[in-house]
């Protein structure tokens, strides 16, 4: 599903955020991406999502090279990848419902299907009561859950989660991780960048550890450290 | 796609409703710049009117040879009247001219001093276009030198008035072009500022898989609505302002040649509204396209 | 405080440097609206000049009573010359007048027809201000009815020209007031948009303990810099544009009465620059104050 | 130091976020504020910081009533309270250095003192190398650390931390919490809203637990649950 090939990413200011990354992730895998602050986790996810282009090397998603993907194709790539952003990226002037619905509107879903799927997913993350609130009227954890809802509402074949439980209490975190596992069980590739030692150690999955832009460990059913 | 248009329109209205003060300020700016534009359209129209009015009163006097017969005079009159730039020709017999002359110098008791009428017969030639007075005068003098003793016209003053009229016409046209460009620039920039303030939103939309087409739609409709609203406000202002102003002037100076022609005024208002709509839409299109291509840059090499 | 001013200025420059396109667009909008303003200042100045030029050629003819003695004529002349609105008085003896009259109608051979000169002596009175022609004519006719046979002036055409001149003067003044308001509105709004786009920043500054005074400082200086830059751009444009344009016109129509007075032009440019500076500063002050009081609202009851 | 008195907060949309809160916090205390997502932790901190005004009841800081505090006084109140915001609130067009320096500039510190203190605090949070980067060029955890640096740079007598380790890996989190403890030891009142069970259970302090806007537990040297 995802093949990363000698990937290198140097930012405009010359900072080398990723350095010689090689990684294969199969369709039904669930991968934790761990590493200290600034290790390059978000950068790697950004490359998978085509927010940044590789400096050298390449990323292949379903055999499509992101390096040569024409920019016109990017929206269609993105519709196949749900992303839980570390900084949420909610539309400030849209309600909770509209924020989640937007991901379906861009794909020209019918109105009634949008209403049905959005309501469902908001119930799943426990935000049905905040449906018509604006993001600024929500708590940090609630905002994070909208972002989760938006990422999974259209059942994308790939799900990238960048610190999906950073603003959530342990119980809610646990529920969200169970949800991601369930989604993974439906043959969705899931990659979770996280600092949550408790969760990584409890829900054992493949762990890829980054440090200074390099992979320093890649273990099946591994632990945080 | 039809479904999309509907979506775009409802999105545009929702967005406008929620943007609050920023949109109000933009629309106000658009309205004001269109009002400036409209005021100068009205002004130019009135200047042209005044210029025409003033110059239309200019006339040529053709003093005829004493030897001309009545039928010769008749033929000559027809010939002048048939010239395309001539509006009307009036024959002033030397007797009438002498009476007028004497009346102008009543106190001189000219009859006592001058036994015989010294003045010739003449034609009073009115023109459609004041600016051709000089040309026609010259032409008549040259062509009919046999019949004509002298051709007079209001001379230097006429020339100066001609100049003013030309000024009003060409200057006005230049101004309209200049103001159209300035208005375009101001409106496009104003909308660009509102779009720039929403670059973050555009970026998020791109991140969740929206195509450029999909993002552009509502923005363009928003621009159109802003343009039309601003244009509408400008037209209402201009309409009432002109009515008030023109009535006031008309009361004070009854003969002042203002434009009251409904068709002319309506076409000016239509131009203002149309300019608002076109520039609003264009401004939004340019702005969102630039924002999109800028965001596109964010997918860095 | 002096230390703060220095901080504010360096903050303002850093902020301008980092704002990029938004500031450039704002400055461009400011420049364009000031150019429109400046163009109309120049236009009004020129219209007034033209009006003055045209009307200054208007003159009054005072036809004198045949019975007046030379010293009476001399006294009368002095009296007219001393009227404040009179520029000069020229005595035209009836002989000269008759010569001119005869020259105008050369082909009539008036000498043959009219034995004696039928025309009276007269004064040719030039005025400073064309618009007073009518008033002065009336005054002379009434006051000196014993000496004067008749007072003539260029009549209806003069009236129309007077009208135009009045138009140029008062209309021009009205326009300048109107355009000042419109420019004020556009510039203040433009700056308001740039400040609104930074409301988030203002909120954060308030959160880390900045006073309103401390936040306002750099914004106001930014506004001033934007206004001055826009004004400077506008003045440069106007300067070169007017030079080019005026030279072109002067070449084509040499007698066209354009304003070339350096002082007058410089004062127009100064007004444009000053307006930019004042409105930029004012716009920033108003905008940031509104943003601050809005943010203040965010501390909710 | 801080007295909260029958505090109630109803948001504009009618949502009752805090309900009958009574709490005394002494000058040298270190308090964890725990509770599930949406419990009202951030709301409570916002009231302490005068971002929101109480609907009824009152908050006293050093015997000053925030309910009647004139808005002109708010900046001076805020300078005595360092805040680590849940959503960072960094100035986007200022560098890391400038963001931290700003908190001192508003207090008219001398240039050389600003330079010295900012450099020191950035070293403390491990960001000395990112000094001249803009926030958008930083990773989530790095942004959080600037926010921490800004909150503590002027040694305020009160420190409010809203989820200060939400974006940090366990090691960095541990360091930051040690730092906050050290600051507390210098007689700074510290209130930390957090979901980090590991830390609350390891570094034992007073724990105040919120649920649906009410205090449900207040225990000296308590645990997360
Ligand atoms: N746009 C950018 N320009 C320059 N440097 C950047 C940019 N974005 C990130 N970096 C740098 O790249 C490094 C890796 O960043 P990244 O966001 O991938 O870290 P991370 O592993 O997600 O960390 P965290 O756990 O704190 O979120 C960091 O040191 C960061 O400063
Ligand atoms: N501006 C607002 N308008 C309306 N409701 C609000 C507003 N801010 C917060 N709320 C609501 O108040 C409740 C408490 O919010 P608060 O931010 O205090 O929660 P929290 O305990 O910090 O949660 P988290 O751990 O998720 O950050 C939430 O349910 C939230 O939806
Ligand atoms: Mg990250
Ligand atoms: Mg919170």
Model confidence over D148-205: pLDDT tens digits? 999 999 999 999 999 999 999 999 999 999 999 999 999 999 999 999 999 999 999 9
Report the range of poorest mean pLDDT among B85-99, C52-66, D26-40. C52-66
Buried b (16+ CB within 10 A) or exposed e, D121-145: bbebbbbeebbebbbebbbbbbbbb
Residue B85: count of CB within 10 angstroms of its CB: 14
Q: What is the pLDDT of residue B248?
A: 83
pLDDT band at C161 (very low <50, low <70, confident <90, very high): low
Contact B225, B12 (CB under 8 A): yes
Contact D14, D199 (CB under 8 A): no
- Residue C125 dihedral angles phi and psi, to the nearest 5°: -105, 120
Q: Do B15 and A93 touch (CB under 8 A)?
A: yes
- pLDDT of residue C25 exceeding 70: yes
- pLDDT of residue B155 exceeding 70: no
Q: Which of C167, C141, C171 is nearest to C80 (CA)?
A: C141
Q: Scanning every residue of chain D, which has its alpha carbon at the shortest distance from the alpha carbon of C2?
A: D108
> Measured between alpha carbons, how far is C28 from C227 in angstroms, rounded to an integer?
10
Contact A99, A136 (CB under 8 A): no
Tell me how close the Cα of C228 comes to any Cα of chain D, in angstroms.
Answer: 23
Q: Do C196 and B39 touch (CB under 8 A)?
A: no
Report the range of poorest mean pLDDT among B186-200, C5-19, C98-112, C115-129. C98-112
**How many CA atoms lie within 13 Å of B102's alpha carbon, on the beta-carbon side?**
17
* HEC-encoded secondary structure of chain C: CHHHHHHHHHHHHHHHHHHCHHHHHHHHHHHHHHHHHHHHHHHHHHHHHHHHHHHHCCEEEEEECCCCCHHHHHHHHHHHHCCCCEEEEEEECHHHHHHHHHHHCHHHCHHHHCCCCCCCCEEEEEECCHHHHHHHHHHHHHHCCCCEEEEEECCHHHHHHHHHHHHHHHHHHHHHHHHHHHHHHHHHHHHHHHHHCCHHHHHHHHHCCCCHHHHHHHHHHHHHHHHHHHHHHHHHHHHHHHHHHHHHHHHHCCCCCCCCCHHHHHHHHHHHHHHHHHHHHHHHHHHHHHHHHHHHHCCEC
Give this prediction's pTM.
0.84
Q: What is the pLDDT of residue C248?
A: 83
- All structural domains of chain C, each given as residue ranges with its CATH number in brackets, are 2-54+164-297 (no CATH), 59-153 (3.30.70.3040)
Chains linked to C by 3 or more Cβ pairs within 8 Å: B, D
**SS3 at position D30:** strand
pLDDT digits (tens, 9 = 90+) for D47-82: 999 999 999 999 999 999 999 899 889 999 999 999
Q: What is the pLDDT of residue C149?
A: 60
Suggest the residue from D17, D125, D139, D164 to mutate for an interface test with chain A (most A CBs closer than 10 A): D139
Q: What is the ipTM of this complex?
A: 0.87
> Measured between alpha carbons, how far is B223 from B27 in angstroms, rounded to an integer?
10
> What's chain C's average pLDDT?
79
Residues of C within 8 A of B19 (CB-CB) are: none
pLDDT digits (tens, 9 = 90+) for B252-271: 766 677 888 888 899 999 99
pLDDT digits (tens, 9 = 90+) for A151-171: 999 999 999 999 999 999 999
Residues of C within 8 A of D85 (CB-CB) are: 207
Q: Do C163 and B253 touch (CB under 8 A)?
A: yes
> Measured between alpha carbons, how far is B173 from C242 in angstroms, rounded to an integer?
17
Residues of A within 8 A of B199 (CB-CB) are: none
How many interchain CB pairs under 8 A, C with D? 56
Q: What is the pLDDT of residue C300?
A: 44
Q: What is the pLDDT of residue B117?
A: 64
> What's chain B's average pLDDT?
79
Bigger pLDDT: C51 vs D77: D77
Q: How far is the CA of D41 from the centre of ligand 2 (A)?
A: 8
Q: How far is the CA of D33 from the centre of ligand 3 (A)?
A: 25
| Residue A2 vs residues A21, A160, A183, D55: alpha-carbon distances, Å | 13, 12, 17, 53
CATH fit for domain D26-53+70-222, picks 3.50.50.60, 3.40.50.1820, 3.40.50.300, 3.40.50.12240: 3.40.50.300
Where in chain D are the domains? Answer: 26-53+70-222
Q: Do C32 and B182 touch (CB under 8 A)?
A: yes
A195 touches chain D (CB under 8 A): yes
Q: Which of D23, D1, D20 is nearest to D9 (CA)?
A: D20
pLDDT digits (tens, 9 = 90+) for D108-146: 999 999 999 999 999 999 999 999 999 999 999 999 999
Nearest protein Cα to ligand 1, atom 7: D137
Residues of B within 8 A of C116 (CB-CB) are: 113
**Helix (H), strand (E) at residue B114:** none
pLDDT average, residue stretch A90-109: 95
Q: Do C205 and D106 touch (CB under 8 A)?
A: yes
- pLDDT of residue B167 exceeding 80: no
pLDDT average, residue stretch B48-55: 69
A90, A125, A138, best to mutate for ligand 2 pocket (most atoms within 8 Å of CB) = A138
pLDDT average, residue stretch A130-145: 95
D60 touches chain A (CB under 8 A): no
> What's chain D's average pLDDT?
94
Q: How far is the CA of C296 from the centre of ligand 2 (A)?
A: 20
A122, A126, A130, A139, best to mutate for ligand 2 pocket (most atoms within 8 Å of CB) = A139
Q: How far is the CA of B17 from the centre of ligand 3 (A)?
A: 35
Chains linked to D by 3 or more Cβ pairs within 8 Å: A, C
- pLDDT of residue C155 exceeding 60: no
Q: Which of B190, A162, D205, D60 is nearest to C30 (CA)?
A: B190
Q: Which of B90, B86, B75 is nearest to B135 (CA)?
A: B86
Which residues, including other chains, have CB under 8 Å from residue D179's CB and lie 6 or more apart? D124, D125, D148, D152
If you count DSSP H runs as helices and E runs as strands, how many of each does chain B have, helices first?
A: 11, 4
């Amino acid at each position: 599903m995802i093949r990363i090939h000698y990937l290198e990413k140097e930012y405009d200011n010359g900072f080398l955020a990723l350095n010689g990354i090689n990684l294969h992730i199969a369709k039904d895998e669930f991968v934790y991406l761990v590493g200290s602050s600034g290790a390059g986790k978000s950068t790697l996810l950004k490359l998978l999502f085509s927010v940044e282009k590789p400096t050298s090397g390449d990323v292949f998603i379903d055999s499509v090279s992101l390096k040569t993907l024409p920019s016109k194709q990017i929206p269609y790539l993105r519709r196949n990848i749900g992303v839980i952003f570390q900084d949420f990226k909610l539309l400030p002037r849209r309600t909770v419902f509209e924020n989640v619905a937007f991901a379906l509107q861009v794909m020209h879903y019918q109105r009634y299907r949008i209403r049905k799927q959005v309501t469902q997913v908001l119930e799943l993350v426990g935000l049905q009561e905040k449906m018509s609130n604006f993001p600024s009227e929500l708590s940090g954890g609630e905002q994070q859950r909208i972002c989760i809802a938006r990422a999974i509402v259209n059942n994308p074949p790939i799900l990238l989660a960048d610190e999906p439980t950073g603003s959530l209490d342990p119980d809610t975190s646990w529920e969200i991780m169970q949800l991601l596992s369930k989604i993974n069980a439906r043959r969705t590739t899931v990659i979770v960048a996280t600092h949550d030692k408790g969760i990584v150690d409890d829900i054992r999955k493949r762990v890829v550890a980054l440090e200074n832009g390099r992979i320093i460990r890649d273990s099946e059913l591994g632990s945080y450290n | 796609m039809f479904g999309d248009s509907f979506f775009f329109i409802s999105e545009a209205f929702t967005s406008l409703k929620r943007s609050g003060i920023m949109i109000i300020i933009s629309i106000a700016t658009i309205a004001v710049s269109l009002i400036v534009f409209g005021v100068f359209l009205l002004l130019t129209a009135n200047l042209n009117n005044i210029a025409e009015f003033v110059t239309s009163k200019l006339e040529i006097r053709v003093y005829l040879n004493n030897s001309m017969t009545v039928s010769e005079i008749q033929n000559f009159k027809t010939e002048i009247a048939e010239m395309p730039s001539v509006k009307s020709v009036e024959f002033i017999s030397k007797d009438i001219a002498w009476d007028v002359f004497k009346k102008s110098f009543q106190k001189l008791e000219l009859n006592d001093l001058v036994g015989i009428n010294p003045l010739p017969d003449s034609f009073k030639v009115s023109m459609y276009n004041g600016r051709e007075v000089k040309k026609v005068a010259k032409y008549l003098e040259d062509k009919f030198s046999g019949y004509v003793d002298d051709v007079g016209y209001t001379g230097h003053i006429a020339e100066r008035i001609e100049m003013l009229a030309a000024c009003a016409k060409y200057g006005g046209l230049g101004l309209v072009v200049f103001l159209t460009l300035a208005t375009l620039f101001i409106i496009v920039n104003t909308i660009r500022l509102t779009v720039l303030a929403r670059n973050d939103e555009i970026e998020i939309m791109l991140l969740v898989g929206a195509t450029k087409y999909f993002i552009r739609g509502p923005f363009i409709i928003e621009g159109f609505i802003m343009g039309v609203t601003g244009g509408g406000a400008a037209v209402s202002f201009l309409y009432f302002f002109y009515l008030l102003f023109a009535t006031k002037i008309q009361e004070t100076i009854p003969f002042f040649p203002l434009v009251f022609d409904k068709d002319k005024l309506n076409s000016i208002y239509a131009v203002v509204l149309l300019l608002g709509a076109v520039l609003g839409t264009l401004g939004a299109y340019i702005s969102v396209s630039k924002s999109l291509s800028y965001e596109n840059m964010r997918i860095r090499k």
